[in-house]
Amino acid sequence: MRLHNLSPRPGAKHRTKRLGQGESSGHGKTSGRGGKGQTARSGSSIRIGFEGGQMPLIRRMPKRGFNNTAFTTRYIPINLTNLNQFENGATVDEAALRKAGLANGTLKLLKVLGTGELTKKLTVTAHAFSASAKAAIEKAGGTCNLITKPKAQPKAAATK
């Protein structure tokens, strides 16, 4: 097989829509753009929710309640099956997990989850453990070290 023998799979390619080729083509006159107006013009794009200058529905609706997403605690999930690639008796911490490619991204907190089986005796250091993961690590003869982040100290009151 050579490059000149390659062809796309049947049904993968479509004919291009030929616009403005007469009324009987089905794409004549307005070329599929409908009538006149803002969307009939070239380069037209209207952002989502735009209502022609009228106050959009999303801004007319009252906003109520509290959304906690900005303050949630997000963890990098680590499954027990992934920990089996470390050697028996190894110490598994954030640096080791990142070096092994198991903890990628900008998140700093690690949580070990109990998905799968652990066959090695490991010392695992993380910010959180699920109950099943902790039980499985201790059953295999390993230990779980919990990293606790220091609590923020209140600032001293300014004296006059």
Q: Residue 125 has which token pair?
A: 């250091």
30 domain-assigned? no
45 domain-assigned? no
Which residue type sits at 65?
A: G
User: What is the pLDDT, as a whole number, of residue 152?
Assistant: 66
pTM (2 d.p.): 0.56
User: What is the pLDDT, as a whole number, of residue 28?
Assistant: 93
Which residue type sits at 82?
A: N
How would you classify the pairing of strands 76-79 and 110-113? parallel
For the chain, the distance separating the N- and C-terminal CA atoms, rounded to the nearest angstrom, is 85
Q: Residue 53 has which token pair?
A: 């200058």
User: What is the pLDDT, as a whole number, of residue 158?
Assistant: 62
131 domain-assigned? yes
User: What is the pLDDT, as a whole number, of residue 157?
Assistant: 64
- Which DSSP helix (H) or strand (E) runs through 98? helix 94-99
User: What is the pLDDT, as a whole number, of residue 94?
Assistant: 93
Instruction: Average pLDDT across each block of 10 residues of the chain; the chain has 160 residues. List them in order.
Output: 94 92 92 90 90 94 88 92 93 94 91 93 95 95 88 66
128 domain-assigned? yes
- Its domain, for residue 88, covers 74-146
User: What is the pLDDT, as a whole number, of residue 160?
Assistant: 58
Domain count, the chain: 1
41 domain-assigned? no
Q: Are 63 and 57 in contact (CB under 8 A)?
A: no
User: What is the pLDDT, as a whole number, of residue 11?
Assistant: 93
60 domain-assigned? no
115 domain-assigned? yes
Which residue type sits at 40?
A: A
Which CATH number belongs to the domain containing residue 125 in this structure? 3.100.10.10
49 domain-assigned? no
34, exposed or middle or buried, with CB in 10 Å at 0-12, 13-18, 19+? exposed
